[in-house]
A and B are shown apart, each in its own frame.
Chain A
Amino acid sequence: MKKNQMIAQDIDQPVFGKRSKMPRWSKRLILGLAVIISLVIIFSFNLKKSADLSRLELKEPEELTPVAVPTEASSPSGKLREKWRKINEKLEKVDPQQKLFQPPKLNFN
């Protein structure tokens, strides 16, 4: 075998193990699909997350507000203060004008 032929054979051979028999176009297809599926998963996760967040915004403050406020909860006045705080937080969230839930302006002309 000539020297040039030996070099060409070396280039074709994989460094470790045998070269896969799978055609190059199918490898690309699998890779492409994997990328698309992972993008879709990430995208749907983000959408779900944003939907959850906006749902949280509509929920009542009592479910959103952190319950644990450091107080001297063991004393009777501490317990009363704690309850008063919760009432006050609820009160701040009541909108008697219901601005967020006003009906849409419809056109009848």
Chain B
Amino acid sequence: MLIIFLFSITFVLAEKTPYESYLFKRDYYLSSHQSYIAAKQTYLNYETLQTKEKFFSSFKLFLISRNELLRSYLFLLLSRGSEFLPEEELEGVKTWITWLNDDTQQINKFVSVSELTDAASYLKVRYPQIEKGIFSFLAELTIAQQNLIEEDIRQLINQISDVDSTASEWLDEVKKQLDLVDQNQELAMSRIKNARIRRIGDGFRVWQKGQRELSRANEQLEKASSFLDEIIKKLEQL
């Protein structure tokens, strides 16, 4: 008993990172989904009070674990986003977390299969918009990371022009690449934000289009960096 107590304290004290917590919830969700499918099949084949009770409890657990998985994923996004994005950009994710908490509390109160069937559709109806929000958030996250690099490159351009005034033509080429980065970022965001979302999966398709522009923006940053490499090499030879 003592050993179990001490080990449980150890596990509680060992702080989990958002990513570890997400992976844990994902495994739990997958196993609860399997149990739900098995219990449902058994109930449909042999309709008894016992199989009905088992189906109800596994159904409830499945819905709760689904909410918990999404919630832990949103926490992961929050922790990642807080490193790059301002507080107001995180508000949307916080709102979904609050909604999921309320939904889980509601599910916990339900006592019949029909109530759970209704509850299962709540997230289904809302998820396309959440999905769109998630991909929009990921795009903003990428843009914020790219902008930090862009800022560094602009600082480096200024430093180079202070050291060597003859490099202005080559530096203009670097600036052109940075302008293209901005254009591609804007295009990606407008594609994602203005997209019509009707069903689950639409968000991902829109993300794929927007993500292409963001990959292009990254390529242009790499090009700008390689141009700078050439300019610095020229300076080093002087």
**Chain A residues at the B interface, C-beta cutoff of 8 Å:** 33, 36-37, 40, 43-44, 47-48, 51, 54-55, 58, 60, 76-77, 79-81, 83-84, 86-88, 90-91, 94-98, 101-104, 106-108
On whether the beta carbons of A80 and B225 are closer than 8 Å, the reply is no
Is B165 positioned at the interface, with any CB of A under 8 Å from its CB? no
18 inter-chain pairs at a CB distance below 8 angstroms, sorted by A residue, are A36-B2, A77-B163, A80-B156, A80-B163, A80-B235, A87-B225, A90-B149, A94-B221, A96-B142, A101-B76, A103-B134, A104-B22, A104-B69, A104-B73, A106-B70, A107-B33, A108-B127, A108-B200
Binds A, one of B13-21, B48-56, B107-115, B189-197: B13-21
Complex interface bits, B43-68 against A, C-beta within 8 A gives 1, otherwise 0: 00000000000000000000000100
On whether the beta carbons of B80 and A44 are closer than 8 Å, the reply is no
On whether the beta carbons of A90 and B148 are closer than 8 Å, the reply is yes
Q: CB within 8 A of A84: which of B16, B20, B134, B156? A: B156
Find the B residue at minimum CB distance from A87.
Answer: B152
On whether the beta carbons of B235 and A98 are closer than 8 Å, the reply is no
Contact size range, B = 35 or more
Beyond A91-B222, A106-B127, whether A76 also contacts B163 by CB under 8 A is yes
Distance between Cα atoms of A28 and B162 in the complex (Å) = 76
Q: CB within 8 A of B152: which of A55, A58, A86, A103? A: A86
Q: CB within 8 A of B225: which of A37, A88, A95? A: A88
Find the A residue at minimum CB distance from B14.
Answer: A47
Is B228 positioned at the interface, with any CB of A under 8 Å from its CB? yes
Find the A residue at minimum CB distance from B81.
Answer: A101
Q: CB within 8 A of B141: which of A43, A76, A98, A104? A: A98
Q: CB within 8 A of B80: which of A54, A77, A79, A101? A: A101
Contacts of B155 on A, CB cut-off 8 Å?
Answer: 83
Find the A residue at minimum CB distance from B221.
Answer: A91
Distance between Cα atoms of A43 and B238 in the complex (Å) = 58
